[in-house]
């Protein structure tokens, strides 16, 4: 085989590029996103393409000749500009994808001994991983905001008050996450309400999340969508929502929490933790479940159901990262003051014990 050593050099070079690029992506998933599943997937992919056969590894090393390689002398003549993390992810994903494509083409020859189908499958997997990593980074700041108070504008609890008026009071009280929950208003009227709340949230630099209704969330350019177990599946919603928008998911068990994480949820809601009038058909789950879920998933965990300023500390000690409140804010004499009280309760609960 007259081209055997040349082929080995090409394979060796592309395997090296492949491993280096995957390692960069893996470190982003591990140290910046703290995502166990993504880190594991990238690590497994990197290890799969690392040569295991000692004879083959020796052959690659023997064929390697960095000193006479003309590659380093071939430059584009342009100055490399500083780049963002997302740009670095794209650059390294392209590096991996191009290396896989080269190896895939070599697999079509008789001399390479490569698995073309496996290489093609890996290349398409990296396309998806690139999108997932960039999407997670784009949503990271929003995800951090979810670790606090979720003030829920619940249509069934408003009485004669207008949703926008209650929302403004919540925002004036310091709420940074507003959820609109409305299962009774006609869609065209609900969109008008959502658009008004979305504008208020932009004014106060807060997140706006729509419960259940994907179409309303998209039409109102909401920051996120919150889904229950009987709503559109998270995996489907993730494909339809822009990659910079959040998806939350309500769960009532560890199994549901793990599934929501695997399907692409950004945060979890769990409840009812205590007995509540807004979820009369749901038995109280209790704080131990929060601990169990937090031990199994990496996502922010938001407790809901019967939350008061007096039990907020217990909820956080049990593993929750935030709280979602309906009645205790909406039914208060002052929505603004009640919102402030819950934010203060969160702050005090997070203070180190003296």
Of 15, 21, 23, 20, give the one whose Cα is nearest residue 52: 15
Say if residue 229 is in the same domain as residue 127: no
Of 163, 142, 174, give the one whose Cα is nearest residue 216: 163
Say if residue 333 is in the same domain as residue 203: yes
Question: What is the reported pLDDT for 175?
Answer: 98
Say if residue 101 is in the same domain as residue 196: no
Say if residue 220 is in the same domain as residue 269: yes
Q: Provide the pLDDT confidence category of residue 279 given band limits of 50, 70 and 90.
A: low
Task: Return the SS3 of 105.
Answer: helix
Q: Which of 136, 181, 245, 294 is catalytic?
A: 181
CA 98 from chain center: how many Å?
26
CATH number for 321: 3.20.20.70
Active site residue 83: no
Say if residue 125 is in the same domain as residue 165: no
Tokens standing for residue 92: 């390294």
Say if residue 300 is in the same domain as residue 334: yes
Contacts of 230 (CB under 8 A, 6+ apart): none
Q: Which of 176, 238, 250, 318 is catalytic?
A: 250
Cβ-contact 146, 249 below 8 angstroms: no
Say if residue 247 is in the same domain as residue 335: yes
Q: Which of 30, 64, 118, 279 is catalytic?
A: 279
Question: What is the reported pLDDT for 2?
Answer: 46
- State how far the Cα of 65 lies from the Cα of 127, in Å rounded to an integer: 31
Q: Which of 139, 160, 178 is at the close of a domain?
A: 139
Residue, of 286 and 68, whose pLDDT is higher: 286
Tokens standing for residue 204: 């106060």
pTM of the model: 0.87
Structural domain including 98 reads 4-139
Contacts of 120 (CB under 8 A, 6+ apart): 100, 104
Say if residue 75 is in the same domain as residue 175: no
Q: Which of 87, 113, 139 is at the close of a domain?
A: 139
Tokens 């934010």: give the residue. 343
Specify the DSSP class assigned to residue 231: S
Cβ-contact 287, 307 below 8 angstroms: no
Cα angle 103, 104, 107 (rounded to 5 degrees) comes to: 85
Question: What is the reported pLDDT for 4?
Answer: 80
Tokens standing for residue 111: 């001399």
Q: Which of 113, 139, 165 is at the close of a domain?
A: 139
Active site residue 181: yes
Say if residue 155 is in the same domain as residue 134: no
Cα angle 23, 246, 184 (rounded to 5 degrees) comes to: 160
Question: What is the reported pLDDT for 353?
Answer: 63
Active site residue 187: no
Domain count, the chain: 2
184-194 per-position pLDDT tens digit: 999 999 999 99
Cβ-contact 271, 304 below 8 angstroms: yes
75-121 per-position pLDDT tens digit: 666 666 788 999 999 999 999 999 999 999 999 886 667 899 999 99
DSSP H helices in the chain: 4-27, 36-48, 54-63, 85-106, 116-145, 163-172, 187-203, 214-219, 234-240, 254-263, 288-294, 312-317, 327-330, 335-350
Say if residue 269 is in the same domain as residue 187: yes
Say if residue 129 is in the same domain as residue 214: no
Mean pLDDT, the chain, whole residue set: 93
Specify the DSSP class assigned to residue 28: I
Say if residue 169 is in the same domain as residue 285: yes
């Amino acid at each position: 085989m007259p081209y055997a050593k040349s082929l080995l050099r090409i394979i060796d070079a592309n395997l090296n590029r492949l491993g280096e690029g995957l390692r960069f992506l893996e470190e982003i998933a591990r140290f910046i996103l703290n995502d166990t599943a993504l880190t594991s997937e990238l690590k497994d992919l990197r290890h799969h393409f690392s040569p295991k056969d000692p004879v083959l590894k020796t052959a690659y090393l023997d064929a390697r000749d960095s000193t006479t390689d003309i590659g380093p002398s071939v430059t584009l003549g342009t100055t490399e500009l500083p780049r963002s993390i997302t740009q670095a992810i794209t650059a390294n994903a392209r590096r991996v994808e191009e290396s896989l494509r080269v190896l895939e083409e070599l697999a079509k020859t008789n001399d390479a001994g490569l698995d073309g189908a496996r290489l093609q499958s890996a290349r398409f997997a990296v396309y998806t991983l690139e999108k997932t990593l960039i999407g997670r980074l784009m949503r990271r700041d929003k995800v951090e905001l979810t670790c606090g108070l979720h003030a829920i504008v619940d249509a069934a609890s408003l009485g004669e008050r207008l949703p926008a008026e209650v929302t403004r009071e919540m925002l004036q009280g310091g709420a940074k996450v507003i959820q609109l929950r409305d299962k009774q208003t006609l869609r065209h009227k609900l969109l008008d309400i959502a658009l008004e709340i979305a504008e208020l949230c932009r004014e106060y630099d807060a997140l706006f999340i729509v419960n259940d209704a994907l179409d309303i969330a998209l039409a109102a350019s909401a920051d996120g969508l919150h889904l229950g177990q009987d709503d559109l599946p998270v995996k489907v919603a993730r494909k339809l929502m822009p990659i910079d928008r959040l998806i939350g998911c309500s769960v009532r068990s560890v199994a549901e929490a793990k599934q929501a994480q695997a399907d692409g949820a950004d945060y979890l809601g769990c409840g009812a933790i205590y007995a509540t009038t807004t979820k009369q058909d749901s038995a109280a789950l209790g704080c131990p479940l929060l601990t169990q879920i937090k031990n199994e998933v990496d996502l922010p965990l938001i407790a809901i159901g019967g939350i008061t300023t007096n039990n907020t500390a217990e909820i956080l000690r049990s593993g929750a990262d935030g709280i979602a409140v309906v009645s205790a804010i909406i039914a208060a004499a002052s929505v603004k003051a009640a919102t402030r009280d819950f934010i203060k309760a969160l702050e005090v609960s997070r203070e180190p014990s003296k």
